[in-house]
Structure 1
Amino acid sequence: MHKHISSLHNPAIKRLLQLQEKSRTRKKEGLFIIEGRREISLALKGGYSIKEIYFNPVLLSAEEVQKLPVSERTEIVEISSEVYEKIAYRGSTEGVIAVAEAKDLSLKNVQLKNDQPLILIAEAPEKPGNIGALLRTADAAAVDAVFIANPRTDMFNPNIIRSSVGCVFTNQIAIGSTTEIIAFLKERKIGIFGAALQASVPYDTIDFTQASAIVVGTEATGLSEEWLENTTQNIIIPMQGEIDSMNVSVAAGILIFEANRQRRR
């Protein structure tokens, strides 16, 4: 039998809100929130452990909840519509929210399956929407890994999970400092191709069939000096319009799919 919560003042509900709103709480408890059936399914497929499931029977039946491939140890809690509306993060409601165990996203856990990996790196991305879009691009291109250098937010922020449509669980992700990531790449002789204006060549003149890391910076400031000093070659997307600015996730998509095109030959 599962529990039932109908009070907004229940400590479990207060804890859910803390996990949603506070990065500090997520880090301290090693837990985070996932909302939506597809996202929960992708997390399970990605090897994440689901500790608790909260569902609103008005939106999702108990039978549907039972179909989620969670372990027998997962606690299932029925919640009232009032409680669900309080903790649901997005408007398009699916009636189910999970508490999952965070993974250690350090570089030491990265497993590259081949000698010519394709890695997407984003330095200091700030906007969860951009990070989500980058993760969707990486998933679509089936890159070997996504590294976030000097992150400004934790990867289990609900906005990232939501904007990535669960691709935070489908990609191999690691976070680290710029220094750590450069050392990782050099140790494995992976070419570093930085999207930058300085001393750059058009992106489609590069041989991306070799082990390659494509690095993008923020739209405001671009890549830091440390990256620019360590790139194998800087690359540029020639622009033909009036402005020379392109959304970082769009630029990453163009570069990653050019690498993919070359690898399919």
Structure 2
Amino acid sequence: MQRVLSRGRAAAPGRLCSHLAGRLSTPVLRASRHTSLEPVSTRDVGFPYSNEFIVDGKVVDAATVVRLLEPFALEERVKRIGEVVAKRTFTVLPIVEGLYDMGNLAAVCRTADALGYGAVHAVNKADGKFKMSQRTAAGADKWLDVKMWDSTGECLAAMKAAGYQIVTTHLTQSSITIQEVDWTRPTAVVLGNEKFGVSAEAVAAADACAIIPMTGMVESFNISVANALILYEAQQQRIRRRGSHADLTPEEQMALKAVMLTKTVKESQSVLSELLSRPPPSWQAHTFKKLAKEAAEYEAAVASRMGAETQQGAGVGS
């Protein structure tokens, strides 16, 4: 698991959410091979990245980060990042509760990345003890926003505050199937640990309990298998009902592309610092002026569109 650097802001007092790397003394997914730049701020739930980065005390927007770092990455990798970003969503969020086997977390991360999900959250076991595993995430955690919570209550309260419905994988008399869940809504799906399933606290906080229909003699799936089935069902339902699994705005796609490039280019922070410290050659001055003008026009168009949407919403409400 990569060692996640500070996001550029101090943790709030009593804040119970952090990156998993910071919670454990032993790396459990993979080790970072280089230092990457991080956005200036994030959110714990939802799309986590800002559109701004801090380089040498200066604010740099995501578009500038992308423009400067792309030449340092292989063309195939840049193309692949663009394809991945265009198919990402943070609207459906898998949460592993009471984690015991770190290999299962690695498997959850790998599946989430492969199916176009941008984040995986986990809740610590009360005793903080984990079973280590030789299984890895195959680098998937590098491309995901992986966070650890100390409390189920705090985690699910944050999800609800952000507008997510809570679905637990648990069998009750009122349980529905995963096919009956509306995955087009912002949804946090809680997967129980390998020994005891989801906690009573999670069940009490859930908007719905869901099961995976089974027709064999066994009564449950391994957590990594259950996660794969659930995330695939959610992806396919979103495609059928929305026409697309992905739902990032152009601004969010640019921010995510910048984040992925900072994780691709070795010592990205040093590279950006050096490039930003150099004045552009005189023969490139007209190019930078043109880019600045295009950026200003784009920002004006976005502001105009947002203003129109706000007025339209006000008209509907009246």
| CA spacing shift, 1:48–1:32, aligned 2, 3 Å | farther
Aligned ranges for residues 93-242 of structure 1 at < 5 Å? 109-110=44-45, 112=47, 117-151=91-125, 152=128, 159=133, 163-176=136-149, 177-198=151-172, 199-242=174-217
Rounded to whole Å, the distance in 2 between the matches of 1:178 and 1:121 is 10
Deviations 1:208-234 (A, max 9, x none): 011111111013211101100011110
What is the CA-CA distance between 1:183 and the residue it aligns to? 1.1
The residue that corresponds to 2:54 in the other structure is: none
The one-letter code matched in structure 1 to 2:161 is E
The residue that corresponds to 1:69 in the other structure is: none
| CA spacing shift, 1:189–1:168, aligned 2, 3 Å | same
- TM-score normalised to structure 2 length: 0.48
The one-letter code matched in structure 2 to 1:147 is H
What is the CA-CA distance between 1:166 and the residue it aligns to? 1.7
The one-letter code matched in structure 2 to 1:175 is M
Gaps of 5+ in 2: 1-20, 49-87, 241-318
The one-letter code matched in structure 2 to 1:118 is V
Gaps of 5+ in 1: 1-25, 50-102
What is the CA-CA distance between 1:34 and the residue it aligns to? 8.3
| CA spacing shift, 1:242–1:153, aligned 2, 3 Å | same
Aligned ranges for residues 22-41 of structure 1 at < 5 Å? none
Q: In 2, are the aligned partners of 1:139 and 1:167 still within 8 Å (CA)? A: yes
Q: In 1, are the aligned partners of 2:29 and 2:141 still within 8 Å (CA)? A: no
Q: In 1, are the aligned partners of 2:101 and 2:132 still within 8 Å (CA)? A: no
| CA spacing shift, 1:29–1:254, aligned 2, 3 Å | closer
Tell me which of 247, 251, 258 is aligned to 2:222: 247
CA-based RMSD of the aligned residues comes to 3.4
The one-letter code matched in structure 2 to 1:119 is L
Q: Percent identity?
A: 28
Deviations 1:124-176 (A, max 9, x none): 1211211111111111122132110125468xx9847x511122211111111
The residue that corresponds to 2:57 in the other structure is: none
* SS at 1:164 equivalent: coil
Q: In 2, are the aligned partners of 1:202 and 1:237 still within 8 Å (CA)? A: yes
- Of structures 1 and 2, the one scoring higher in RCO (CA 8 A, sep 6+) is 2
* SS at 2:193 equivalent: coil
Rounded to whole Å, the distance in 1 between the matches of 2:119 and 2:105 is 14
The one-letter code matched in structure 1 to 2:162 is R
* SS at 1:192 equivalent: strand
Q: In 2, are the aligned partners of 1:116 and 1:209 still within 8 Å (CA)? A: no
* SS at 2:229 equivalent: helix
Larger helix proportion of the pair: 2
| CA spacing shift, 1:32–1:236, aligned 2, 3 Å | closer
* SS at 2:156 equivalent: helix
| CA spacing shift, 1:112–1:248, aligned 2, 3 Å | same
Rounded to whole Å, the distance in 2 between the matches of 1:182 and 1:109 is 12
